[in-house]
A and B are shown apart, each in its own frame.
Chain A
Amino acid sequence: MKTNTPATATAAPAALSIQGLNTYFFTAKQLVKAVRDVDLIIPSGKTVAMVGESGCGKSMTALSILRLVPPPGRIVSGQINFAGEDLLQLPSTEMHRIRGNRIAMIFQDPMTALNPVFTIGNQIGETLRHHKGLSKAQALEHSIELLHQVGIPNAQQRYRDYPHQLSGGMRQRVMIAIALSCDPSLLIADEPTTALDVTIQAQIMALLNKQQQQRQMSTLLISHDLGVVAQNADIVAIMYDGLIVEQAEVQTIFSNPQHPYTQELLNCIPKIGRDRHKRLEVRQQQDSFWLSCPAEFAPQESQMAPLQHIAANHFVRRWS
């Protein structure tokens, strides 16, 4: 049946492809469908951005890839193909070998993602010793080299620092060094610059882009900031309520959005040089978007609509 899903339409070799992923949370009160029927391809060397508001399922999609969904969440069905294997079928020991090694992740908050009682050199070296089997001395040498690559001045001295001695931007650089340490082929960056000031954000995104090009890495960028996405992504998937509602190349999403939710997201951000003091176009209250959108886009409980292929590499989810 799936002739023209995003998982089959793109010709470029895929670093990762997700098909029919469903991740549900089985809470005592109710069943929460955090990720519903997600199909996504991350082409080799490209950046795919997942965009949506809090609770839309974008982070849970990322955690599903690494099989780190916290309980009571569970991956219910789907396939995640990476380097010829279905990650969801692998035994957990095999998964250990992939996590942090061939697929690495950067988190939003560099304050909490680093261990406060170990030096940063130690934390980078830990990954290298575990995955690459380097000796302590080799790991140290390599850590200093990595710190240098991510733009930390005086790496020779700084590797002995503890996280609290570094600024937020420097901590995020250390996180990137840890993520890059094993030369991953896929990097998952979950809101990597949300906690940072705007000048530091620009520096961190430039660093990520440079490293991606040098290493031929693919990136899954998770963000709610349409500016960051417009400037850094190749392909954009818009998520709402666990569903990918629209997916297209970055220019298409910004110039020709087809789903009413994408249109609302683009309309409701203030744009410099236009519309000053004009009201932003947005629905009145924080009710579910489905209540106010045209009927053809609102999900029906009985069945799941597939993403429809409406133009080259442009997909929209519609119920009729």
Chain B
Amino acid sequence: MAAFLEIKHLHKSFKLSSNIRSLKRQLLPAVIDVNLRLTKGTTLGLVGESGCGKSTIGKLIMGLLRPDSGQILLEGCDMCQLSQKQLRPLRRKMQMIFQDPYSSLNPRMKIGDTIAEPFKIHGSTSTLSIKQQVSALLRRVGLHEELASRLPHEFSGGQRQRIGIARALALTPDLIIADEPVSALDLSIQAQIINLLQDLQQEFQLSYLFISHDLSVVEHLCDDIAVMYLGRIVEQTPVDDFYRRPRHPYSEALLQALPIADPLIHKRIIPKGEVPSALNPPAGCPFHPRCPYAQPLCQQQRPELQETAPGHLVACHRSEELSLSGVAK
């Protein structure tokens, strides 16, 4: 099946401001040689610990950041080559939902105006029909249409996240980039939003790039999963495979660290160490200082991302010989 969104050899680094100690401006590589494919109507989960570069990828796709090199193809069209003006019509096709429902809505705008803004920017339709469409969107995300004249502070976190989703849906996009959309919400509200996202996907044939650190939510929502570590993808696979049999030691560490809501299942391995600084990444495999299976080769040579089984990409020297433990029964 043709990829709806395809990312090829994407690189992005940030220049850090010079400080007293070093006059040279340091480069922080945030995204290194990332390749991703997202099929239409499916969900790709992008997971990793804070600072691994997963949100940067979301922003690069949205065009909020410009990549250093690489291609981002939306239905075969390379968005990195386009000017801002040429990019505009493509922007309608992709929208973003943010983590924090408190800071992602303008506190001085009535929520009806917030949701209507995409229509105005993209120059579509009359005032009357905009009003009708805003009402329809509010109803669709489970809010009463009379609430359109209220301000964001009058809503709870879950309701605000619904407003953010309504805004993202306004221009009937094909792709939604959801950056930790449920992390800030309470459990019952989180479940409501997850259900809403699933319903909307079916109804509108949406493709999601779901950025998250919560592996239980990713398992529930996603079809494929990509694990990032220090700016690189270390494993990419269909979700079922991943939870049953991860093939990268970092994936195993993430799964082992995941607290399971069942007091009868007890954890065996506790991951060691912390994520090293991206400014000074370890030589060889970036995970080797924390890896319980590391060998001398891992300290010297960085493993490339390779297909070890159909559809299962792993960057590990020892993935063939290791038998790592998953969590699914």
Which residue in chain B gives the minimum CB-CB distance to A193? B259
Q: Is the CB of A169 closer than 8 A to any CB of chain B?
A: yes
Give every chain A residue within 8 A of B256 (Cβ-Cβ): 202
Among B29-37, B92-100, B189-197, B294-302, the stretch in contact with A: B189-197
Given contacts A170-B274, A268-B187, 7 further A-B contacts (CB under 8 A): A197-B213, A199-B271, A230-B259, A268-B188, A269-B191, A284-B142, A286-B158
Say yes or no: A284 contacts B192, CB within 8 Å: yes
5 residue pairs from A and B, CB less than 8 Å apart: A227-B216, A227-B261, A251-B263, A251-B264, A286-B156
Taking a contact as CB atoms closer than 8 A, the residue among A202, A265, A270, A286 that contacts B217 in the complex is A270
List which A245-261 residues lie within 8 A (CB) of chain B: 250-251, 254
- Report if A280-B194 is in contact (Cβ < 8 Å); known contacts: A54-B186, A197-B275, A227-B261: yes
Indicate if B327 sits at the interface (CB-CB under 8 A). Answer: yes
Nearest A residue (CB) for B48: A197
Q: In the complex, are the beta carbons of B49 and A199 less than 8 A apart? A: yes
Q: Which residues of chain A are within 8 angstroms of B261 by Cβ–Cβ distance?
A: 226-227, 229-230, 254, 266, 269, 271
* In the complex, chain A residues 181-228 whose Cβ is within 8 Å of any chain B Cβ: 197-203, 205-206, 224-228
Q: Give complex CA distance A170, B239 in Å.
A: 32
With A280-B194, A286-B156 as known contacts, state yes or no: A227 contacts B258, CB within 8 Å: yes
A310 close to B (CB within 8 Å): no
Q: Which among B158, B159, B186, B219 is the interface contact of A270 at CB below 8 angstroms?
A: B219
C-alpha gap A230/B265 in the complex (Å)? 9
Q: Contact mask A45-75 → B, CB, 8 Å, 1/0?
A: 0000000011000000000000000000000
**A198, A230, A276, A284 — which one has the most chain B CB atoms within 10 A of its CB?**
A198
Interface 0/1 of A150-175, CB less than 8 Å to B: 00000000000000000101100000
Contact B327 A273 (CB under 8 A): yes
Given A199-B257, A224-B187, A286-B189, A231-B328 contact (CB < 8 Å): no
- Using CB atoms, name the residue of chain B closest to A229: B261
A279 beta carbon closer than 8 Å to chain B: yes
Q: A285 within 8 Å of B by Cβ?
A: yes
B270, A273: Cβ atoms under 8 Å? Answer: no
Instruction: For chain B, residues 182 to 230, give those with C-beta under 8 angstroms from any C-beta of chain A.
Output: 186-192, 194-195, 198, 213, 215-217, 219-221
B262-306 interface with A by 8 A CB criterion: 262-264, 266-267, 270-272, 274-275
Does the CB pair A230–B260 fall under 8 Å? Answer: yes
Q: In the assembled complex, which residues on chain B have CB atoms less than 8 Å from the CB atom of A53? A: 186-189
Q: How far is the CB of A299 from chain B (nearest CB, A)?
A: 18
Q: Which of A203, A225, A265, A286 meets B159, CB within 8 Å?
A: A286
B44 close to chain A: CB less than 8 A:
no
Within 8 A of B (CB), among A123-163: none
What total count of A-B pairs have CB within 8 Å?
133
Which chain B residue lies CB-closest to A200?
B274
| Contact A169–B267 (Cβ < 8 Å) | no
How far, in whole Å, are A224 and B49 apart by their CA atoms in the complex? 20
* Bound Cα distance A78, B154 (Å): 34
Whether A280 contacts B191 in the complex (CB less than 8 A), given A198-B213, A272-B328, comes out as yes
Q: Tell me whether B263 and A268 are in contact (CB under 8 A).
A: no
Chain B nearest CB from A230 CB (Å) reads 5
The reply to whether the CB of B138 lies closer than 8 angstroms to some CB of chain A is no
For B271, what are the chain A residues with a Cβ–Cβ distance below 8 Å? Answer: 199, 202-203
A277 within 8 Å of B (CB atoms): yes
CB-contacts of B151-195 with A (<8 A): 156, 158-159, 186-192, 194-195
Q: Which residues of A have CB within 8 Å of B50? A: 197
The reply on A275 being an interface residue by CB < 8 A is yes
Report yes or no: B274 in contact with A167, Cβ–Cβ below 8 A: yes
* Cβ B49 vs Cβ A282 within 8 A: no
CA of A281 to CA of B188, assembled, Å:
9
CB distance from B229 to the nearest CB of A (A): 11
B285 to chain A, nearest CB (A): 17
In the bound complex, what is the Cα–Cα distance between A35 and B186 (angstroms)?
Answer: 19
